[in-house]
Amino acid sequence: MSDCFSLEDCDVIGFDLDHTLCRYHLKETCILIYESFARFLVEHKGYDKDLLNVTPDTWDFCFKGLVVDLEEGNLIKLAEDGTVLRATHGTRSLSTEEMIKTYGPKRQWKHFNSLNTTFTRSAKYYFYDNYFDLPGALLCARVVDLMKKKGKEVTPEFWKDMVAAIDHNYNTSAFREDSGWYFPSVKRDPERYLKSCPDSVCQWLRNMKDRGKVLLLITSSHSDYCRLVCEHILGKDFEDLFDVIITNALKPGFFSLIPHQRPFRTLVNDVESGTELSCLNKRGWFSQGNWPHLYDLLKSLTSKQLPKVVYFGDSMRCDMFPAFTFAKWETIMILEEMEGGVVKDSSQSSASNKGPAEKKGKFEEGMKAPSAVSQQWGSYFVDVQTDEAGQEQHTLTWCCSSIHKYSSVAIPSVESIAALPLNFQFMRFSKAQSCTRGYYPSPPHSLLKRAES
């Protein structure tokens, strides 16, 4: 495989929608999602109303890449070899001694191999790797806090209520029925939550199409929500930008459920038809489906037996791992954490957060961006801890090593490369090269520091 990667060499260029082509106002969106989940627990499951009250500094806990260890009731941050780097029980950080007591002298998490090789979820753990469920990590921790406060035993049973909250808010019929809290809020005020694509991105998409590239949009969002988002970020004529649009793709199953793949279905007024399509034979808008049938269509559209596909996405579980592993596509990961800043001094943080917090999370001042470095959890890419000799140890996280393994390149946003010529040569990730390689336009600060150390 070449050391470099270029879009010019690709016949087909595919995109995920949410947090990939569409960037969200993360603070507003995370507040909405947290409230949506919390209100469900309070109003439908009888949980304490205190879950609805969140102070700005509490959001430092929100950190992409955490795993819920449901057997222990802990949230954990993992190293690339499965070592537990940091852990909390509820929102309380565990000491080294407590982690050793729970996970043994080597602090090795016993389910790591299962997660690391499949990226699936199970009854024993849950992996937070996208901004749509990330606020659930904070809510999950606060539920554990409340259970401990009331002297209740923390068992995996509470997780069923968390899953029910997610299902209630993201059900495929929720947009049409105006149910839950998430979709009604976005429908009322899309400007508050969605960032419009700059003209440079729209022109970039048109230029690629003019150069003969086949453009795909593959999203797990339902067609009605996809339409709202695309019209807001790309304009009313967004369908002209893509050769094929696939909604309700149900990733990662779109890539991984071979040979029991779901068939494609057509849509009429954003409602799936009952007729299954045995194959795709034309451009258009479809629902569900699978990558082998899509790939057959791509062969026809490109007049090539083995068209080269690249796919942009933000989720390791739903985009990078399955597209790379099963479809053998090139993958480019959208990683807003690359824009995250350096950890602020805690005294400065607390000083800026004085004053009473408003109820139900309606605030902005003092709230950390969910993609920024966390005081409690550290960097998404590298964990820095001091050993007994007083030396800093810079450990690559499991999330970071996964990016290097299953992505060709990582970028903070599509916008960051829209002005580049199509034949621009990106340095791709490589096991034999530095851990700073593969990031454009520059490596994260924490990786640069690790390389220096």
Catalytic residues: 16, 18
Residue indicated by tokens 């996809």: 226
Within 8 A by CB and 6+ apart from 417, the residues are 411, 424, 440
**Cβ–Cβ under 8 Å, residues 376 and 423:** no
**In whole angstroms, how far apart are CA 86 and each of 160, 375, 435?**
25, 12, 22
Residue type at position 234? L
CA gap 437, 439 in Å, rounded: 6
Q: Are 392 and 386 in contact (CB under 8 A)?
A: yes
The answer to whether 5 touches 330, Cβ cutoff 8 Å, is: yes
CA atoms within 13 A on the CB side of 93: 12
- Check residue 275 and report its DSSP letter: E
Backbone angles phi, psi at 260, to 5 degrees: -100, 50
Nearest to 84 by CA among 60, 61, 62, 68: 68
Asked if 270 and 222 touch (Cβ cutoff 8 Å), the reply is yes
3-class DSSP state of 342? coil
98, HSE (Cβ side, Cα atoms, 13 Å)? 11
CB 130 within 8 A of CB 318: yes
Q: Are 277 and 264 in contact (CB under 8 A)?
A: yes
310: three-class secondary structure by DSSP: strand
Q: What are the respective helix, strand and coil percentages of the chain, to the nearest 5?
A: 40, 20, 40
Nearest residue to 370 via CA among 320, 403, 336: 336
Q: Kindly report the CA angle at 120 between 94 and 22, in degrees rounded to 5?
A: 90
Could you tell me which of 6, 12, 7 has the C-alpha nearest to residue 309?
A: 12
Rounded CA separation 357/370 (Å): 18
